[in-house]
Homo-oligomer: A and B are copies of this chain.
Amino acid sequence: MPVVNLDEKLKMFSERWSPKIVARFNGHDVMVVKVLGEFVWHSHPDTDDFFLVLKGNLTIQLRDGDVRLGPGELYVVPRGVEHRPVAEEEVLMLLIEPEGTPNTGDAATAARKEMI
């Protein structure tokens, strides 16, 4: 596989809340994403949810409090835990989820993930 330069991958698209697959690892998609605004409350019953902020400041709302992440900070939302990412400015992130995981927790509303 080729080396993945995260900055170069992030320059290849502008749409938000649409994770792009940049590598695969042990049955997981490694993705970059741009987000701004409020996502939907959701959970993933069968997988933890890995967030690493590359640029900007992200709030992950949880039912029992907020988590705030800046660049170089990571957080793993445990499986089954409801959460809602919120970004007051554009945030660039690295995400890791098992292949085929719907980003909204619901296949009907999930973004289609393409490899770039």
A residues in contact (CB < 8 Å) with B: 1, 3-7, 22-26, 28, 30, 47-48, 50, 52, 54, 67-69, 72-76, 78, 94, 96, 98
Contact = CB atoms under 8 A, between A and B. Distances in A.
Contacts of A73: 3-6
Given A26-B28, A26-B48, A48-B26, A76 B3 contact: no
Contact of A76 (B30, B47, B52, B68): B30
A25 B7 contact: no
Contact of A23 (B22, B25, B69, B74): B74
- Residue of A3, A6, A26, A78 contacting most chain B CB atoms (<10 Å): A26
A98 B26 CA distance: 9
A65 B30 CA distance: 24
Given A26-B48, A30-B50, 19 more contacts: A1-B75, A3-B73, A3-B74, A4-B73, A4-B74, A5-B73, A6-B73, A6-B74, A7-B72, A22-B74, A24-B48, A24-B76, A25-B48, A25-B50, A25-B96, A26-B98, A30-B74, A54-B72, A96-B96
